[in-house]
Structure 1
């Protein structure tokens, strides 16, 4: 079993950007003290749902503040980046951290980010496979050239090359069957979101396994990751109450900030109903409740690496207490149940 924390640096009501970012940094440092294995940072642009615009930059700061824990991006939005620039940063952090960096990438969405960064809607709709393959070639080869649809350049040397071979860990955020199949054909682990429950996760894991086998990969050798909301209190009703008091206001304001680049209206979840859903399918409750929920998800899906969203109470002190209690009272219970 492997456990990380998942940070959004969400700007909750009453907070400013400094509050959100300082809480996220304090949480990352606290996670190492609490015995977590890794810290993962989300990346968003122009919305208070998450005020970190560069997961790589945040990860580099965390790696400099810690000594043991690994840091990952969950995710770096590949359609808004040049894949070589992102791969160079990943190789650099792999070298400087002694192999403690994980690169998580994903397609993101059809948001205004694509307009601002000048990459266009096609980068989201069609360009992800080419960009992903270029990242992988850069992380595994001494020299790289490109002759694709979006990227064409003469052969150049890779400097620096990563120290981790065959390459630093790369995971792919998967929210659709197409992306699942893309990751499976390349033998890359999936990162599954916290918006789906065990049945949906198991279905995606099974689809991945079938495609991976057909592509010549052993799906049993791939360790997928799953994100989950996690909040521990003495009693389940107290944990749910804390999240219900903080998350709907943050979700309502944060998710409303998404703007489609094509101008179409964006469908939005009801923030209260979404909070209730997350509380019902994730480790929210007493230490025993949380441990049982994580063990059940592991048994139903085969997933053994969880990254836990710990900021849901919207308060620095509660976030740090949550991390400490998860590390002290929940993670040992899960490991005892799973073995």
Structure 2
């Protein structure tokens, strides 16, 4: 199994700390390759301290020049927020500059504050994503960009520099809701799983995704990639306390940024899953949701962290795991110790895991 490191650049309430956040996170990113991580991932978010990386391609281009072999992944570029021509050009340029090390992850977005700030109707995200994905992926395969769709009308133009390496085997899309999972099968992308619901539910979603992928593409779906929030310590009590403080604090920031208890999901097309989640939070309160999120993540001693990753793999069959080791106000020292212990004691065993074979795939 491949193991990666994901940097989210999570800030606090004081904007004066933003430079420190960047300094600390980039120091941790510089450790990723020497510690043996095989992938380095960046995310895209705007306008709040929840995740202060509005341009993952720019971040990964910077890291391409500071690394030699590590893969560079976007988790993810949110297509409805961008001109597909510029996405195709930026992806091609980064891939060429990095020597073919880029792994293209894309998504359709969830935060109302981001859609409004970027002047894109949130209710159009599903249709815009599908249309943009088709344009970008075709351009990356052919070197030609053109479209005559509902949202994008693009005269035929060559991409220069031209893409030189196919993205068919290094294409992923972020998906949490069943609606998004179906869309990603349609565009032929592997799934980036950011855990927010019970792993048995995710397992059901992945089974539907694999079935739809086979029907649409005539081949087996690529194995998913899982991102997990890590609190690893040799003392199990300390690790659990870390999980309560940091993983719990992180999910509180998720609920705030995405307004997960908000009533706007009831009237926003394409976000049916989040309507039920919002209703649950409104009736049950946020505490239960935070506790559930903590239990989805990777915390404990190195042995306990490894067992949690094994359990996730048994349910979703992922062939990659990306660790988030710095978040929710962790000091640099705490984050570095967390990252180093995971890399030394957990990662080598995870790397040795073979590809997971589903019975349904073996029988087909």
Number of the residue aligned with 1:228: 228
Counterpart check, 1:290 vs 2:305: yes
- Consecutive unaligned residues in structure 1, runs of 5 or more: none
Please name the residue that 1:134 is paired with: 135
Q: Distance in 2 between matches of 1:193 and 1:144?
A: 31
Note if contact 1:91-1:168 (Cα within 8 Å) is conserved in structure 2: no
Q: Which residue of 2 aligns with 1:18?
A: 19
Q: Distance in 2 between matches of 1:272 and 1:229?
A: 18
User: CA-to-partner distance for each residue in 1:142-193, whole Å, 9 max, x for gaps?
Assistant: 3232111111122111111222225572211112223212222332101111
- What does residue 193 of structure 1 align with? 194
**Which structure has greater helix proportion?**
2
Q: Distance in 1 between matches of 2:9 and 2:324?
A: 10
**1:318 correspondence with 2:334:** yes
Instruction: Give 3-state SS (helix, strand or coil) of 1:87's partner.
Output: helix
Q: CA deviation at 1:8?
A: 1.4
Rounded Cα–Cα distance in structure 1 between residues aligned with 2:286 and 2:231:
18
Counterpart Cα distance in 2 of 1:257 and 1:281: 20
Q: Offset at 1:114?
A: 2.5
SS of the equivalent of 1:326 reads helix
Is the CA contact (8 Å cut-off) linking 1:45 and 1:113 kept in structure 2?
A: yes
Residues 177 and 129 of structure 1: CA distance in aligned 2, closer, same or farther (over 3 Å): same
Corresponding position of 2:345: 329
Q: Mark the CA change 1:180 to 1:217 in structure 2 (over 3 Å): closer, same or farther.
A: farther
CA shift in 2, pair 1:138/1:258, >3 Å: same
Give the stretch that moved more between structures: 148-157 or 197-206: 197-206
Which of 293, 296, 302 aligns to 1:278? It is 293
Where do 1:177-192 residues align within 5 Å? Answer: 177-192=178-193
Q: What is the Cα deviation at residue 99 of structure 1?
A: 1.0
1:235-270 deviations in Å (ceiling 9; x for gaps) = 32211212323444555456434479x993895796
In structure 2, the residue matched to 1:145 is 146
Query: Is the 8 Å Cα contact of residues 183 and 189 (structure 1) preserved in structure 2?
Result: yes
* C-alpha distance in structure 2 between counterparts of 1:253 and 1:308, whole Å: 18
Are the aligned partners of 1:12 and 1:249 in contact in 2 as well (CA < 8 Å)? no
Which ranges of 4 or more aligned residues in structure 1 deviate by more than 6 Å?
268-271
Secondary structure of 2:238's aligned partner = helix
CA distance in 2, matches of 1:36, 1:196: 26
Structure 2 length normalisation: TM-score? 0.84
Match of 1:240 in 2: 240
Q: Matched residues in 2 for 1:302 and 1:168: separation?
A: 17
- Which residue of structure 1 lines up, in the alignment, with residue 28 of structure 2? 27
Structure 2: runs of 5+ lacking an equivalent: 266-273, 356-364
Query: Who is 2:358 aligned against?
Result: none
Distance apart, 1:80 and its partner CA? 0.9
Q: Partner of 1:213: helix, strand, or coil?
A: helix
TM-score (normalizing by structure 1): 0.90
RMSD over aligned CA atoms reads: 2.6
Q: Once the two structures are superposed, what CA deviation does each residue of 1:277-320 show, in whole Å capped at 9, x if it has no partner?
A: 33322220001001111112112221111111211461211111
* Counterpart Cα distance in 2 of 1:5 and 1:335: 13
